[in-house]
Chains A and B, each alone.
Chain A
Amino acid sequence: MSPRARQHTAGHRRNALWMAAMVHRLSGLALACFLPLHFLALGLAIDGEARLDGFLKWTANPLVKLAETGLVFLLAVHMLGGIRVLLIENMPWRDGQKNIAFAALALACVAAFAFLLRAV
Chain B
Amino acid sequence: MADMIEVLLWRGKEDGRYQTFQVPQRENQTVLDVVSWVQRNADPTLSYRFACRVGVCGSCAMTVNGRPRWTCRTHTSRVVENGRLKIGPLANLPVIKDLAADLQPFFEKWQQAKGVFAPSKTRADPVETISPASAPRIAADAAIECINCAVCFAACDTVRWNEDYLGPAALNRAWTLVNDVRDAGNRERLAAVAADGGCHACHSHQSCQEHCPNKLNPTASIAGLKRRTMQAYIRGEL
Contact surface of A with B, Cβ cutoff 8 Å: 1-6, 8-15, 17-18, 20-21, 85, 88-90, 93, 97
Q: Which chain B positions have C-beta within 8 A of A8?
A: 10, 18, 63, 66, 86, 88
Question: Distance (Å) between the CB of B79 and the closest chain A CB?
Answer: 10
CB distance from A26 to the nearest CB of B (A): 13
User: Is there a chain A Cβ closer than 8 Å to B92's Cβ?
Assistant: yes
A21 surroundings in chain B (CB, below 8 A): 203-205
Scan residues 186-238 of chain B and give those whose CB is less than 8 A from a CB of chain A.
203-207, 210-211, 217, 219-220, 223, 226-227
Q: Is the CB of A6 within 8 A of B15?
A: no
Q: B95 at the A/B interface (Cβ < 8 Å)?
A: yes
Distance in angstroms between the alpha carbons of A1 and B13 in the assembled complex? 10
Residues of B whose CB lies within 8 Å of any CB of A are: 10, 14-15, 18, 63, 65-68, 86, 88, 91-95, 154-155, 157, 160, 203-207, 210-211, 217, 219-220, 223, 226-227
Contacts A9-B154, A90-B227 given; indicate if A17 touches B206 (C-beta within 8 A). yes
- Chain A residues with Cβ below 8 Å from B206 are 15, 17-18, 97
Complex formed: what's the CA distance from A12 to B205 in Å? 11
Closest to B95 in A: A3
Nearest CB on B from A19, distance (A): 9
Bound form: Cα–Cα A21–B220 in Å: 16
Nearest chain A CB to B28 CB, angstrom units: 24
What are 27 A-B interface contacts by the 8 Å CB criterion? A2-B14, A3-B14, A3-B93, A4-B92, A5-B160, A6-B91, A8-B18, A8-B88, A9-B68, A9-B88, A9-B91, A9-B154, A10-B66, A11-B66, A11-B67, A12-B66, A12-B154, A12-B157, A12-B211, A13-B207, A14-B66, A17-B210, A18-B157, A89-B204, A89-B223, A93-B217, A93-B223
Task: Check A1 against B15 for contact (C-beta < 8 Å).
Answer: yes
Q: How many Å from the CB of B101 to the closest CB on chain A?
A: 9
Q: In the complex, what residue of chain A is closest to B92 when comparing beta carbons?
A: A4
Q: Which 8 A-B pairs have the closest CB atoms?
A: A11-B66, A9-B91, A11-B67, A21-B205, A93-B220, A12-B155, A17-B206, A12-B207
A17 touches B14 (CB 8 A): no
The reply to whether A9 and B66 form a contact with Cβ atoms under 8 Å apart is yes
Interface residue from B18, B68, B220 paired with A12 (Cβ < 8 Å) = B68
Interchain CA distance A2-B67 in the complex, whole Å: 18
Q: Which of A11, A90, A93, A97 contacts B65 (CB 8 A)?
A: A11
B223 touches A18 (CB 8 A): no
Nearest CB in chain A: distance from B80 CB, A: 14
How far is it, in angstroms, between the C-alpha of A9 and the C-alpha of B93 when the chains are bound?
A: 11
